[in-house]
Amino acid sequence: MSDYHRKNRRRGFQKERDLVRKLWDMGFATIRAPASGAKAKKTYQPDIIAAKNNRILVIEVKTRSSSDVVYIDQYQVEKVLEWVKRAGSNATGMIAVYFDRRQGWRFVPIESAVKLDSGGVKITKEDADKGLPLDKLREI
Amino acid sequence: MSDYHRKNRRRGFQKERDLVRKLWDMGFATIRAPASGAKAKKTYQPDIIAAKNNRILVIEVKTRSSSDVVYIDQYQVEKVLEWVKRAGSNATGMIAVYFDRRQGWRFVPIESAVKLDSGGVKITKEDADKGLPLDKLREI
């Protein structure tokens, strides 16, 4: 891994920790999975689970500063969908995307994201604009 | 930390990973928090969250082979109770205890555990016998 990627990765983890803190401060119960990157796991772990009033958000986090699109690969989509299916009808799969400070965090329901032939999905910065900002999650 | 404690700690993590795997195989959606031990966190993270059919188990894990009692300190009790309160009425706080192979995993609801003056709780091996074995969790 290059220094450039290592730095981006570290920055991504920092943003993810900040997000968990913000969700906690909004009254969600939160838990964050260890940052591993290993795909050989025997169980699927999404990045963050946030629960409140019997609703469960199953969250995959994507941060990007150098481009205007994020890709969520098939494995990541599957782990969210499988988690949601198991957890029950009160669970919702969300991609939390962060492009820049102006737009802030946006939450895009995984089923509204643009499907790719690869089995993954993509979210452009423009798509993200239609996602829920953090403070709208209060209404969930 | 002595070699003895390091070894016990490692063994504890291994058991915890096995438990997550078992819960997953029983159809639960599972997520395990990173093993940190740091108490200076700004958010409370229980050891494991397991969700199924809109029920949420908020689990603190205790393994012990050299004695017949486990203690859960006030901080650990509080993190489970706070998580349960935030997650909603479908959530249940559980201590998962493992003393030995014969008894296996036992799940004791945190409110049934014996309260201590310190604010923590304790569970003896005898108490654990009255807890739910793993296969009874299917009915939850």
Provide ipTM, 2 decimals: 0.89
Q: So what's the pLDDT on residue A64?
A: 86
Q: So what's the pLDDT on residue A59?
A: 97
Alpha carbons within 13 angstroms on the beta-carbon side of residue A51 total: 34
Q: So what's the pLDDT on residue B140?
A: 67
| Domain encompassing residue A106 | 3-139
Q: So what's the pLDDT on residue A8?
A: 75
* CA–CA min distance A52, chain B (Å): 4
| Average pLDDT of chain B to the nearest whole number | 90
Comparing CB atoms, the residue among B21, B51, B82 nearest residue A87 is: B51
Length of chain B: 140
Where is average pLDDT lowest: A13-22, A32-41, A118-127, B11-20? A32-41
Angle (CA) A84-B49-A88 rounded to 5° is: 25
Q: At residue B23, does pLDDT exceed 50?
A: yes
Comparing CB atoms, the residue among A20, A51, A83 nearest residue B43 is: A20
> Strands A69-72 and A91-98: what pairing?
unpaired
Is A45 at the interface with chain B, CB within 8 A?
yes
Structure-model confidence comparison of residues B11 and A60, the more confident one: A60
Where is average pLDDT lowest: A41-45, B40-44, B77-81, B85-89? B40-44
Is A131 at the interface with chain B, CB within 8 A?
no
**Percent of chain A residues past pLDDT 70, beyond the cut:** 92
Is A61 at the interface with chain B, CB within 8 A?
no
Active site residue B118: no
Contacts of A140 in chain B (CB under 8 A): none
Is A54 at the interface with chain B, CB within 8 A?
yes
Task: Determine whether the interchain pair A88/B42 forms a contact, defined as Cβ–Cβ distance below 8 Å.
Answer: no
Mutate to test the interface with A, among B32, B56, B83, B140 (most CBs of A within 10 A): B56
State the CATH number of the domain containing residue B65: 3.40.1350.10
* DSSP notation for chain A: --HHHHHHHHHHHHHHHHHHHHHHHTT-EEEE---------SS---SEEEEETTEEEEEEEEE-SSSSEEEE-HHHHHHHHHHHHHH-TTEEEEEEEE--TTT-EEEEEGGGSEE-TTS-EEEEHHHHHTSEEGGGGGG-
Task: Determine whether the interchain pair A29/B82 forms a contact, defined as Cβ–Cβ distance below 8 Å.
Answer: yes
Read off the pLDDT of each residue in A114-120 and give the average, rounded to a whole number. Answer: 94
Is B26 at the interface with chain A, CB within 8 A?
no
Where is average pLDDT lowest: A4-8, A70-74, A101-105, A107-111? A4-8
* Separation of alpha carbons A103 and B62, rounded Å: 43
Tokens 């050299």 sit on residue: B66
Q: So what's the pLDDT on residue A7?
A: 75
Task: Determine whether the interchain pair A87/B52 forms a contact, defined as Cβ–Cβ distance below 8 Å.
Answer: yes
Q: So what's the pLDDT on residue A40?
A: 46
Contacts of A28 in chain B (CB under 8 A): 86
Do A31 and A17 touch, CB atoms closer than 8 A? no
* DSSP notation for B51-81: EETTEEEEEEEEE-SSSSEEEE-HHHHHHHH
Do A58 and A93 touch, CB atoms closer than 8 A? yes
* CA–CA min distance A126, chain B (Å): 31
Q: What is the pTM of this model?
A: 0.91
Do A94 and A112 touch, CB atoms closer than 8 A? no
Q: So what's the pLDDT on residue B40?
A: 46
> Based on the structure, what is the number of domains in chain A?
1
Q: At residue B38, does pLDDT exceed 60?
A: no
Comparing CB atoms, the residue among A31, A55, A88 nearest residue B52 is: A88
Read off the pLDDT of each residue in B60-67 and give the average, rounded to a whole number. Answer: 90
Comparing CB atoms, the residue among A29, A33, A82 nearest residue B87 is: A29
Instruction: State pLDDT tens for residues A28-83.
Output: 999 999 866 554 456 789 999 999 999 999 999 999 878 899 999 999 999 999 99
